[in-house]
Amino acid sequence: MKPNNQKPGRGVPYCRNQWPASFRGFRSRLHSRKIQLILWGTFSCAVVAASLCLLPMQGRAQEVSSPTPKLLTRAHPSSYVLGPGDQLTIRVVDLEEYSDKNVRVGPDGDLDLPLIGPVQAAGATIESFKQDLATRLSKYIDSPKVSISLMASQSGKISVVGEVNAPGVRDLSGPTTLIEAISGSGGVKTDAGSTVIVTRSIKNGTLPIDGSKLDDSGQFSTVSLSLDGLLSLKNPSDNFTLRPGDIVSIPKASIIYVVGDVHRPGGFPLPARSTMSVIKAIALAEGLTSNNASRSARILRPNPTGEGKPTEIPVNVQAILAGKANDPSLLAEDILYIPHSTAEAGAKRAAEIALQVATGVLIYR
């Protein structure tokens, strides 16, 4: 059969294999492009539809996940003690004057309330203040239902100062005892004194412990406690709960001095106790020198009034070291003086000279 060399024309079937190569490539690319456009359009429509469907769900999710403002009463329980600057919301059922009433405790610790007038709030816990309001409002409404929310706390702070490792002002996040306040400030330093002093404004009540007293102004309640006794809980009532505005102070330890013929003269603190023995003081001064006259040592004790000459107390350190005399106690600001033995130093110097002369004679011979 002869090959068909006739060019395609009208009425002659057009065989795909007979298309020019360039046209077949263009048609193939056009077909692929159509498929891509169809796929891309389908994908875009799907994305838009999914976005439109998810918008209501996203809005509901945001509504659910949006945090509800928390009242400070969750962090501060009903035992929280009110103080100047605290902001409260007071609500009383069926009493229009107390429909979400926002008030702030004044600098004097008072609240000026409808129907009641000025009421002392500072120093009272939220629970006790709520009961007080219910009692006062009972003349206007039967069995008043009172609720109090602490919206902002400005007074929930205490101060820990003195010989602690991290002194400063600290927030009260809940009931805090005296030991917890000291521990939260890094604990006491090694040169801390023997006492801890707590001061409270009388507006916040008096300190709930035996031995507390008012200062000269009558505006503050103070107490001085033994630091050793507190930390060892010898009297558990000493570890009372602090209130906002309380000040905890730990003074520096008192000093005793050792001077004269010792290896390291100087001042030494009395760590958490009021006295120190003579032997311990000498040990802190790294012992006596060889030329000491410890038999003639003296304690110089300042006059309690701070005036006049100090009292001299003879002390025979040599006899104490030999166990032949009692070891007296040094008090704060005492000076232990160990004199120098001139006679012993002279005898020692003479022996050194004699030894040098004898050595020279032997060498000469």
CA angle 154-158-159, nearest 5°?
Answer: 125
**For 94, left (φ over 0), alpha (ψ -120 to 50), or beta?**
left
Task: Check: CB of residue 84 under 8 Å from CB of residue 122.
Answer: yes
pLDDT confidence of residue 45: 59
For residue 178, the model assigns a pLDDT of 93
* For residue 225, pLDDT beyond 70: yes
Would you say domain 255-344 falls under CATH 3.40.47.10?
no
pLDDT at 353 exceeding the cut of 90: no
Q: What is the pLDDT of residue 34?
A: 56
> CB–CB of 91/147 below 8 Å?
yes
Confidence of residue 44 (pLDDT cuts 50, 70, 90): low
What distance in Å separates the CA atoms of residue 223 and residue 14, rounded to the nearest whole number? 115
Give the Cα separation of 122 and 217 in Å (integer). 19
Nearest by Cα to 250 from 189, 300, 340: 189
Domains 87-152 and 255-344 share a fold: no
245 vs 201: CA distance, rounded Å: 7
Is the Cβ–Cβ distance between 172 and 125 less than 8 Å?
Answer: no
Compute the average pLDDT of residues 204-219: 88
Integer angstrom CA distances of residue 66 from 61, 62, 310: 8, 6, 74
Residue 275 has pLDDT above 60, yes or no: yes
Q: Which residues contact 101 (CB under 8 A, 6 or more apart)?
A: 89, 90, 91, 113, 114
pLDDT at residue 282, rounded to an integer = 93
Q: Is 90 exceeded by the pLDDT of residue 56?
A: no
Q: Pick 356 or 63 by higher pLDDT.
A: 356
* CB contact at 8 A, 103 and 111: yes
- Reported as a pLDDT band with limits 50, 70 and 90, residue 53 is low
Distance, in Å, from the CA atom of 356 to the CA atom of 196, rounded to the nearest integer, reads 61
Average pLDDT value for residue range 112-123: 87
Q: Say which DSSP state 204 is in.
A: G
Considering the segment(s) 157-250 as one domain, its CATH architecture is Roll (3.10)
* pTM for the full predicted model: 0.50
pLDDT band at 276 (very low <50, low <70, confident <90, very high): confident
Structure tokens at 311: 């009292």
Topology of 87-152 in CATH? wza like fold (3.30.1950)
Residue 115 pLDDT > 70: yes
Place of tokens 């917890």: 180
Instruction: Of 104-118, 156-170, 333-347, give the lowest mean pLDDT range.
Output: 333-347
Instruction: Name the percent of the chain in helix, strand, coil, to the closest 5.
Output: 35, 25, 40
Query: Where in the chain are the domains?
Result: 87-152, 157-250, 255-344
